[in-house]
């Protein structure tokens, strides 16, 4: 469970990506600037146990913020932002069967944000962000 703040549309107001308790979907809320947020009506990954607050990064480097939803006992997903407050699941499947946590950063010199997954039952692994918008071990 958790929430992460970022700019998902171009209005300059902070928005919030939230994940709830197990069985509830992840949702994007657009900030209106007075402390309130309006739901976009989009929901993702309902029924899947999401471990952490969403990780926000521009994974495909198109200038629009994207989301990693890290799942335990399931494949994690990346949602690609379009800069207008819409998110679309990326056509990649991230196998994270024993994930406990994750972080994103530039782990090699290609300037594409990678993901390191900390596993509960084994060594950590690095998902290297490859040019074709795919992440692989």
Q: What does the binding site for Ca ion look like in residue numbers (CB under 5 A)?
A: 9, 11, 13, 15, 58, 60, 62, 64, 66
R_g (Cα) of the chain, nearest Å:
14
Q: Output 40 or 93, the one with its CB closest to Ca ion.
A: 40
Q: Of the two residues 15 and 52, which places its CB atom closer to Ca ion in the complex? A: 15
Q: What minimum distance in Å lies between the beta carbon of 75 and Ca ion?
A: 19
Give the H/E segment covering residue 38.
Answer: strand 37-44
CB of 57 to Ca ion, least distance (A): 8
Query: What residues have CB less than 8 Å from 106, skipping those under 6 apart?
Result: 112, 113, 114
Smallest Cα–Cα separation from 90: which of 73, 69, 109, 111?
A: 69
Cβ 46 to Ca ion, closest distance in Å?
A: 23
Nearer to Ca ion, 21 or 132 (CB): 132
**25: its two tokens:** 């979907």
Nearer to Ca ion, 29 or 45 (CB): 29
Minimum distance from residue 7 beta carbon to Ca ion (Å): 5
Decide: residue 4, CB within 10 A, 0-12 exposed, 13-18 middle, 19+ buried: middle
């Amino acid at each position: 469970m958790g929430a992460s703040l970022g700019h998902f549309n171009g209005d300059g107001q902070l928005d919030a990506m939230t994940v709830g308790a197990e069985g509830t979907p992840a949702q994007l809320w657009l900030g209106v600037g007075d402390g309130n947020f309006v739901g976009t009506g989009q929901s993702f990954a309902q029924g899947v146990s999401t471990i952490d607050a969403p990780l926000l990064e521009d994974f495909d480097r198109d200038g629009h913020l994207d989301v990693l939803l890290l799942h335990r006992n399931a494949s994690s997903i990346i949602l690609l932002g379009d800069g207008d407050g819409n998110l679309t699941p990326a056509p990649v499947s991230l196998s994270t069967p024993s994930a406990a946590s994750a972080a994103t950063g530039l782990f090699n010199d290609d300037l594409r944000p990678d993901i390191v997954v900390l596993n509960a039952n084994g060594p950590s692994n690095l998902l290297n962000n490859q040019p074709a918008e795919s992440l692989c071990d």
